[in-house]
């Protein structure tokens, strides 16, 4: 009688473990570019830097969901060859921060220092 119970228990364990083994694995990583920019990951969030006519936009995504940047700010530093420009990052609605007066040329290096409360996140980009 006991061996019959163990066979049923073993069968149940085997079935449940095979069901778990077939679940897909989701890796944490950069979200795909949604606005045609360059995406980097920092502090478990994705940041997309996009050139704009009058500066740059920085979109923030947390686990595939737009992140409300209302309480965020910071600074964007851009190096175009030997030319260095800086601009303040300000909330522009939804998940978008804006930096006016910078130019993101091809090959430019950019560093976004984003603050939210006491937390500071630094994100580095190379414009393609």
| CATH number of the domain bearing residue 73 | 2.60.40
In a domain, 26, yes or no: no
DSSP H or E segment with residue 62: strand 55-62
What is the pLDDT of the chain when averaged over all its residues?
86
Domain extent, residue 121, equals 38-126
In a domain, 10, yes or no: no
For the cut 60, the answer to whether the pLDDT of residue 17 exceeds it is no
Residue 97 CB contacts under 8 Å (≥ 6 apart), including other chains: 57, 58, 59, 60, 69, 72, 73, 74, 89, 90, 91, 114
State the pTM of this model: 0.76
**Which pLDDT score is estimated for 24?**
43
Number of domains in the chain: 1
Per residue in 38-74, pLDDT (tens digit) is 999 999 999 999 999 999 999 999 998 999 999 999 9
In a domain, 21, yes or no: no
In a domain, 5, yes or no: no
Per residue in 26-39, pLDDT (tens digit) is 455 567 899 999 99
| b/e burial code for range 51-62 (CB count within 10 A of at least 16 → b) | bbeebbbbbbbe
In a domain, 114, yes or no: yes
In a domain, 20, yes or no: no
Residue 22: pLDDT band with limits 50, 70, 90: very low
Query: Which whole number is the average pLDDT over 82-104?
Result: 96
For the cut 80, the answer to whether the pLDDT of residue 20 exceeds it is no
Start-to-end CA distance of the chain, whole Å, equals: 70
In a domain, 71, yes or no: yes
């Amino acid at each position: 009688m006991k061996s019959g119970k163990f066979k049923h228990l073993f069968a149940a364990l085997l079935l449940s473990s095979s069901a778990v083994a077939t679940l897909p694995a989701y890796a944490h990583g950069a979200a795909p570019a949604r606005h045609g920019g360059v995406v980097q990951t920092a502090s478990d969030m994705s940041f997309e830097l996009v050139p704009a006519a009058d500066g740059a936009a920085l979109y923030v995504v947390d686990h595939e969901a737009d992140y409300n940047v209302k309480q965020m700010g910071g600074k964007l530093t851009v190096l175009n060859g030997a030319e260095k420009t800086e601009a303040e990052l300000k909330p522009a609605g939804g998940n978008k921060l804006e930096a006016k007066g910078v130019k993101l040329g091809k090959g430019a290096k950019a560093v976004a220092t984003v603050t939210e409360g006491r937390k500071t996140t630094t994100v580095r980009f190379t414009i393609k």
